[in-house]
Amino acid sequence: MPELPEVETVVRGLRGPLVGRTITGVSYDYPGGLVTPDGPIFAARIVGQTVQSIERRAKYIVIRLDPDTLIIHLKMTGRLYVVPNDHVDYADRWVHFNFQLDNGHQLRFSDSRKFGRVYLVGDQSEVTGRLGPEPLDDDFTLDAFRARIQGRSGTLKPLLLNQFFLAGMGNIYVDEALFASRLHPLRRADTLREADIARLYEAIRAVLREGIRREGASVNWYRKPDGTKGSAQDGLQVYGHAGDPCPNCGRPIEKTVVGQRGTHLCPDCQQ
DNA sequence: CGGACAACCTGGCGGC
DNA sequence: TGCCGCCAGGTTGTCC
């Protein structure tokens, strides 16, 4: 669920309460969620480090400490929020990491399905170094996208979900971008014409920007750091709309499986 | 390079 | 009301 717009919203919501804070302790009850370093080193190494800045790279939340970097991936059910030590929250039942801050607050990482991952590294590129370009960066131009997609032969949906091809898209926004560009999820990348590539490029950027503007899609688990829902789900055209009339032609939206993922499309509008 | 599939997990939901 | 079984999906790793 948390894709680029959701993670971007989380990052923006965490900056205020976290930047400038020093971590004074950490506890966790699911060692499997800690990728690196080894458990015995983790607490000793992070305690005493101060948050310098918070950024997003793909779907990773990158918290720059000094000298290390704390990186968190929410996967599907992860939630991050900062609350006073004595605050009781509904999502606390799934908290597996709890970072104590120097101002009587805590950064809590709740994750019911335990898919989320935590990294503490000296060099961010250990985790995010091989990811594809950021679709909303200024230097991700139409020319850059064209150069990247030319020479690829795979089907569009799995290609757009591939984080090494393009960073940040997930199941929701890929379905939306393909609908907006009138391209079928099974369309092969090497059959796209110039106009198709241009429409797809614009659609990717548009759906992601709209997702951020609406502060993410709370289809089920995703919440903003303040616990409230985003509203991007209200603007979705096809995702979660199986059987509903296509906003373009009125015929029913279909749900199928592409690349082992639930896929929503209008078979009449998307070719 | 690509595609299929299993694995990691557990809440929520449909069906009975 | 309660139980069973399946579905959801981000990422990695394996295999062909």
pLDDT for A8 = 94
Q: What is the tens place of the pLDDT at every residue in A98-116?
A: 999 999 999 999 999 899 9
pLDDT for A168 = 92
Interatomic separation, CA of residue A256 and C1' of nucleotide C3, rounded (Å): 29
pTM passes above 0.75? yes
Q: What is the average pLDDT value for chain A, to the nearest integer?
A: 92
pLDDT for A38 = 86
- Looking at the structure, give the CATH architecture of the domain made up of residues A4-128: Alpha-Beta Barrel (3.20)
Going by pLDDT thresholds of 50, 70 and 90, the confidence category of residue A227 is confident
From residues 42-61 of A, which are strand C contacts by CB within 7 A?
58-60
User: Using the CB atom, is residue A218 less than 7 Å from strand C?
Assistant: no
Interatomic separation, CA of residue A72 and C1' of nucleotide C10, rounded (Å): 13
Question: Higher-confidence residue: A138 or A229?
Answer: A138
pLDDT of A140 over the 80 cut: yes
pLDDT of A238 over the 70 cut: yes
pLDDT of A1 over the 80 cut: no
Amino acid at A132: G
Among A59-63, A148-152, A235-239, A242-246, the range of highest mean pLDDT: A59-63
Fold of A142-265: Helicase, Ruva Protein; domain 3 (1.10.8)
Interatomic separation, CA of residue A25 and C1' of nucleotide C7, rounded (Å): 38
User: Using the CB atom, is residue A53 less than 7 Å from strand B?
Assistant: no
pLDDT of A220 over the 80 cut: no
Pairing of strands A34-36, A117-121: parallel
Mean pLDDT (whole number) for A76-94: 92
User: What backbone phi and psi angles, to 5 degrees, belong to A51?
Assistant: -70, 120
Task: Measure the CA–CA gap between A240 and A270, rounded to whole angstroms.
Answer: 17
Among A19-23, A41-45, A152-156, A181-185, the range of highest mean pLDDT: A19-23
From residues 244-263 of A, which are strand B contacts by CB within 7 A?
259-260
Q: Provide the b/e sequence for A144-161 (b: ≥16 CB within 10 Å).
A: ebeebbeeeeebbbbbbb
Query: Percent of chain A beyond pLDDT 90?
Result: 74
Please confirm, yes or no, whether A157 is among the known catalytic residues: no
- Domain positions in chain A are 4-128, 142-265
Task: Measure the CA–CA gap between A123 and A62, rounded to whole angstroms.
Answer: 11
Mean pLDDT (whole number) for A18-45: 93
Going by pLDDT thresholds of 50, 70 and 90, the confidence category of residue A90 is confident
